[in-house]
């Protein structure tokens, strides 16, 4: 089994410090437990951190990009950008009830309106997105996972609250119809370090949409879960399913971020 450069560094240290031959399991365990005391100087710690920024992120507690800054020089203060791989928090078909299927990517349209202001796609190149449908008429489940730069999580939630907040608005379609939109904040279980949970109701002349929007933050990782149902004349979203999916995503984010 191939080992990362960070694991190779750890293996070398194990041999130098303790002698003998390190197994793959030894290397994985050491990569998670190696502390600043393992390294002779800051430059060595920074080099290992650069090779394995996720596995050794505990060497940089405030996630500022510098490992073990109290170690003696030689020093390397070129910042390491830690981008978490959040793909393990993505929902799969196995997480949904029977009868659901995957949707083709890129089916969300050019933009949408929330509280009367048009919103577009996130455009985050590091985002992981999955989409599911029960049928071509719904219901639908969308999940976006956004890894953020170190320390950006709380600020990102402030920006998201500027978009997702209780409000009402009207829209006019080209045929002269009026659609009334409403976001409310019903009770929702506590998830993540911070979360936003809203109910969307969009009433149109021929049919309606109802949906749950849940934003979960764990550290500098954000998950956006959208569960939509369509109906005529009224739609009812399965909020119990929304809650179970949100709790599952939160557990997976916690396992990735370490709390």
Domain that holds residue 228: 87-257
- Same domain assignment for residues 58 and 8: yes
Could you tell me the pLDDT band of residue 32, with boundaries at 50, 70 and 90? Answer: low
139: cis peptide before it, omega within 30°? yes
Minimum mean pLDDT among 162-166, 193-197, 219-223: which range? 162-166
pLDDT at 134: 95
- Judged against a pLDDT cut of 80, whether residue 74 lies above it is answered with yes
pLDDT at 1: 34
Instruction: Say which residue, 62 or 213, is predicted with more confidence.
Output: 213
Q: What is the mean pLDDT of the chain?
A: 81
pLDDT at 6: 40
Alpha-carbon distance of 229 to 133, in angstroms, equals 10
- Same domain assignment for residues 3 and 76: yes
- Judged against a pLDDT cut of 80, whether residue 230 lies above it is answered with yes
| C-alpha torsion 41→47→48→49, nearest 10 | 100
State how many domains the chain has. Answer: 2
Strand order in the sheet with 194-203: 101-102, 128-133, 140-147, 221-231, 208-218, 194-203, 178-184, 167-172
- Same domain assignment for residues 72 and 116: no
- Same domain assignment for residues 32 and 119: no
Name the token pair of 153: 């999580």
Minimum mean pLDDT among 49-58, 128-137, 214-223: which range? 49-58
Q: Which of 47, 82, 117 is the last residue of a domain?
A: 82
Minimum mean pLDDT among 7-16, 77-86, 174-183: which range? 7-16
pLDDT at 113: 67
Pair 218, 252: CB distance under 8 Å: no
Query: pLDDT tens digits for 99-136?
Result: 999 997 655 544 556 776 665 444 455 688 999 999 98
152 HSE (CA, 13 A, CB side): 13
Instruction: Say which residue, 124 or 150, is predicted with more confidence.
Output: 150
Percent of the chain scoring above 70 in pLDDT: 78
Could you tell me the pLDDT band of residue 253, with boundaries at 50, 70 and 90? Answer: very high
- Same domain assignment for residues 227 and 99: yes
Query: CB neighbours of 41 closer than 8 A, spacing ≥ 6?
Result: 71, 72, 73, 74, 75
- Same domain assignment for residues 55 and 180: no
- Same domain assignment for residues 134 and 76: no
- Among left, alpha and beta (phi > 0; psi -120 to 50; other), residue 175 is alpha
pLDDT at 238: 96
Name the token pair of 29: 């365990």
């Amino acid at each position: 089994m191939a080992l990362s450069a960070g694991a190779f560094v750890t293996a070398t240290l194990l041999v130098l410090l303790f002698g003998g031959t390190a197994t793959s399991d030894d290397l994985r365990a050491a990569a998670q437990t190696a502390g600043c005391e393992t390294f002779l100087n800051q430059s060595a710690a920074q080099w290992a951190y650069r090779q394995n920024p996720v596995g050794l992120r505990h060497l940089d507690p405030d996630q500022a990009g510098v490992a073990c800054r109290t170690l003696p020089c030689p020093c390397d203060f070129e910042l390491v950008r830690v981008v978490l791989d959040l793909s393990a928090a993505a929902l799969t078909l196995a997480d949904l009830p029977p009868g659901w299927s995957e949707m083709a990517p890129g089916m969300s349209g050019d933009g949408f309106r929330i509280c009367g202001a048009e919103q577009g796609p996130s455009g985050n190149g590091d985002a992981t997105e999955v989409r599911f449908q029960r049928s071509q008429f719904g219901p639908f489940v969308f999940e976006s996972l956004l890894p953020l730069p170190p320390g950006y999580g709380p600020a990102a939630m402030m920006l998201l609250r500027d978009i997702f907040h209780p409000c009402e608005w009207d829209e006019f379609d080209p045929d002269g119809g009026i659609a009334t939109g409403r976001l409310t904040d019903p009770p929702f279980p506590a998830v993540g370090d911070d979360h936003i949970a809203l109910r969307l109701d969009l009433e149109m002349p021929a049919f309606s949409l109802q949906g749950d929007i849940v934003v979960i933050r764990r550290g500098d990782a954000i998950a956006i879960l959208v569960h939509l149902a369509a109906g005529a004349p009224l739609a009812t979203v399965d909020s119990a399913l929304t809650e179970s999916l949100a709790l599952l995503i939160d557990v997976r984010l916690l396992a990735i971020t370490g709390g």
